[in-house]
């Protein structure tokens, strides 16, 4: 076991101990459940089919929102880099989306659509500005000298995209994904809670609030964190498969 791993396990044990002591001091389950109670709840949740259906419900929609943001953000960034008119058009809208509070979107979207689609659009809107900004920055940071060489040698468009453009953009896209995945989960679940979306993780959190069950609240929060980290790893692994310099694509 390396020293870094030992240190990490030590830190986890320390915070679990702090949590346990705090729960002992508070001594009220509905205010602060202990780590053992949460672990027990997770243990009873995991083998049930209902749990996986709920996870699948939220995962599917939030992943869809994130993917939509990545695709739309990339397309908008490419058009912005290519045409100043497009940049002038998109940037105010992107700035507005970036600055507006997430609840404003959630309430507005509730007026337009039903709660089952709320997390898709909320996560999409929250992640879109991040993906747009990162991809645009990646395009701006392409190696000018290499692009000049490509133009002198008349390298065909598709080859240039694969050999020069994509490898330059991937590290920025990876950085955007790292932030974006967490943001998608946070905003998506918040939307599910506010919209009380039937069968979602957000609905379980809402029920935890209604029934004053901090055990369920902590258990589902841990599930969200694990799902968010797993999604992030998956996305970064996929990006590592793209040929190019590995800068910024963490292992």
Size of the site for another protein (CB under 8 A): 17
List 59, 86, 102, 155, residue binding another protein (CB under 8 A): 155
Contacts of 243 (CB under 8 A, 6+ apart): 162, 167
Comparison of 106 and 139: residue with beta carbon closer to another protein: 139
Counting contacts by CB under 8 A, is residue 153 touching another protein? yes
Question: What DSSP string describes 177-231?
Answer: HHHHHHHHHHHHHHHHHHHT-TTSHHHHHHHHHHTT-HHHHHHHHHHHHHHHHHH
**CA-based angle 161:141:155, to the nearest 5?**
30
Closest distance between another protein and the C-beta of residue 166, in Å? Answer: 11
Which residue, chain included where needed, has tokens 């747009």? Answer: 132
Give the shortest CB-152-to-another protein separation in angstroms.
5
Interface with another protein includes 166 (CB under 8 A)? no
CA 176, CA 130: separation in Å to the nearest integer? 6
Ramachandran angles phi, psi of 186, nearest 5°? -60, -50
Q: Which of 127, 139, 164, 235 binds another protein (CB under 8 A)?
A: 164
Site for another protein in 211-250 (CB under 8 A): 243-245
Question: Does 169 participate in binding another protein (rule CB under 8 A)?
Answer: no
Subset of residues 4 to 63 that bind another protein, contact rule: CB under 8 A? none
Between residues 172 and 220, which has the closer beta carbon with respect to another protein? 172
Which residue of 4, 154, 158, 251 would you call a contact of another protein, by CB under 8 A?
A: 154
Radius of gyration of the chain (CA): 22
Q: How far apart are CA 90 and CA 77, in angstroms?
A: 9
C-beta of 165 vs 232, nearer to another protein = 165
Binding footprint of another protein on the chain (CB under 8 A): 145-146, 148-155, 159, 163-164, 167, 243-245
């Amino acid at each position: 076991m390396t020293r870094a791993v030992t240190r990490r396990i030590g830190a986890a044990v320390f915070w679990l101990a702090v949590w346990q002591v705090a729960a002992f001091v508070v001594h009220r389950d509905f205010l602060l459940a202990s780590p053992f109670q949460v672990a027990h709840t997770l243990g009873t949740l995991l083998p049930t089919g209902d749990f996986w259906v709920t996870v699948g419900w939220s995962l599917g929609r939030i992943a869809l929102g994130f993917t939509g943001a990545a695709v739309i953000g990339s397309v908008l960034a490419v058009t912005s880099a290519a045409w100043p008119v497009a940049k002038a058009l998109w940037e105010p809208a992107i700035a507005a989306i970036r600055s507006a509070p997430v609840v404003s979107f959630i309430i507005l979207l509730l007026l337009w659509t039903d709660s089952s689609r709320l997390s898709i659009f909320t996560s999409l809107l929250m992640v879109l500005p991040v993906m747009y900004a990162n991809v645009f920055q990646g395009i701006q940071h392409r190696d000018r000298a290499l692009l000049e060489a490509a133009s002198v040698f008349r390298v065909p468009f598709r080859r240039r995209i694969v050999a020069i453009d994509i490898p330059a953009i991937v590290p920025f896209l990876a950085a955007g994904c790292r932030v974006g995945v967490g943001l998608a989960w946070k905003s998506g679940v918040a939307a599910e809670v506010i919209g009380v979306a039937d069968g979602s993780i957000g609905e379980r959190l809402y029920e935890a609030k209604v029934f004053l069950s901090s055990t369920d609240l902590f258990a589902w929060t841990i599930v969200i964190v694990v799902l968010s980290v797993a999604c992030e790893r998956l996305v970064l692994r996929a990006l590592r498969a793209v040929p190019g310099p590995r800068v910024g694509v963490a292992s």
